[in-house]
Amino acid sequence: MESQSQMVARLRAAFRSGVTVPEEFRRTQLTGLMSMIKDNEDQITDALHRDLAKPKFEAVLSEIEIVLNELYHSISNLARWMQPEYVSKSLATKLDDCFIRREPLGVVLIIGPWNYPLQLLILPLISAIAAGICASVAGMQSCCLILTTAACCYCVLSLGAERGRSQAVARSVVQAASVHLTPVTLELGGKCPCLIYGRINITAAARRLVWAKYFNAGQSCVAPDYLLCTKAVRDALVPALREILEEFYGKEPKESPDVSRIVSDRHWTRLMELLKKTAGTVVVGGEANREDKYIAPTVVVDLQEDDALMGQEIFGPILPILTVETLEEGIAFINRKEKPLALYVFSDESSVVKTVMENTSSGGFCSNDAIIHMTLPSLPFGGVGMSGWGSYHGRWGFEEFSHRRACMLRGWALERLNGLRYPPYSSEKLKWLRWTTSPHSCSIM
């Protein structure tokens, strides 16, 4: 069996051969990856159902279609992304070719989690292939073995579930990479807030919240982790949530084919411990079955900021609702926490949406919906601060894996003008040299 060091050496040798750099090679690899996924769609969805009880609808939407859309987008735009980017010039460089050339960084290790096992490994792989990189992919269980090797770039994606554990893994990756001065991209998740304020269509809001929160049993790094709203909104929202949950999953959600299960007994136990420790009141759901790793879609109210449910990323089908009296109080609540991977605001008032957007910070932002923003390949996906470093998807992933090389191609013209920089120096030469290198000189000419 090939060792980790042998694997890295093989990947480096392949990269140094130049085989991954030509556009045709990249395009062929991306097209082949698309064919592989299309040809094996049924096997993929069957495996996801066996492992996570994922409904086929959710599996196709979040694992198959999002990957195929990314592939279509990358294939369609690859030639344009690879073109040199020409930059503005001064008089002193008027006759030169000055441009930025995107070059692949080298070898990348992609470490993915379990909650979206295809999407969160293949999307960065698409970016790596598009950028001309040699890539190796690994699950969380393998990452500690591979960290002792020196690759050119590490990428750690969506390590949510338990905040402390994901940060510990991230620190291990960063420490191992720092020995080799290896750049790192981290997507870590966090507690994504949803603030509801002002005029609002309660029924529509409840429908979108239920879908986003309980999709994949809440095991999504961008799922709304908790709600902030006024008491009046909460009192109107809870009955609407109860009604929509029954509309979606029936009176017995456990029997619904559209409800996923918790990934493991350990995570089931963690979530049930949070429910036991909360000082809040369960007003919807709360039923569970250890053998089936089932937890009903659950809503909890009457809890405080220091509640057990607020101490870590929930990463499960439990939705706490906390109350605030003013928009400013809601914004202050969000800003006391670490910057989240995503932030959501529900309001019919554009001034409310704008105020929240301009006075908070998060990896992504979406109004009057949740999760949807990350499905668009033209938007970057990534965190900020403790929710992650860097971003990917579409052009942003291509840039993440590329070195932007500054290039200037010069001839022998204008040597007399170049003479201004040569000794013997004089104040007159300096005056003219400062003018010719100014960005204004070219526009004047």
Do 17 and 23 meet the contact criterion of CB atoms below 8 Å apart? no
Q: Which structure tokens are listed for 194?
A: 């949803």
How many whole angstroms separate alpha carbon 80 and alpha carbon 443?
28
Q: In 142-283, which ranges are continuous DSSP H helix?
A: 143-146, 163-178, 202-214, 231-249, 265-277
Amino acid at 407: C
How far out from the chain centre does Cα 131 lie? 18
How many whole angstroms separate alpha carbon 376 and alpha carbon 373?
6
Cα separation values, 213 from 121, 129, 298, 311, 349, Å: 22, 32, 10, 18, 23
Closest CA to 172 of 109, 98, 253, 97: 109
Paired strand residues for 227: 194, 321
Instruction: Choose the catalytic residue: 98, 153, 221, 229.
Output: 221
Instruction: Choose the catalytic residue: 63, 187, 399, 400.
Output: 187
Per DSSP (E only), the strands in 292-341 are 294-295, 298-301, 318-323
Known catalytic residue: 152? no
Do 298 and 259 meet the contact criterion of CB atoms below 8 Å apart? no
Do 145 and 1 meet the contact criterion of CB atoms below 8 Å apart? no
Contacts of 432 (CB under 8 A, 6+ apart): 420
Closest CA to 400 of 105, 7, 83, 100: 105
Known catalytic residue: 98? no
Q: List active site positions.
A: 187, 221
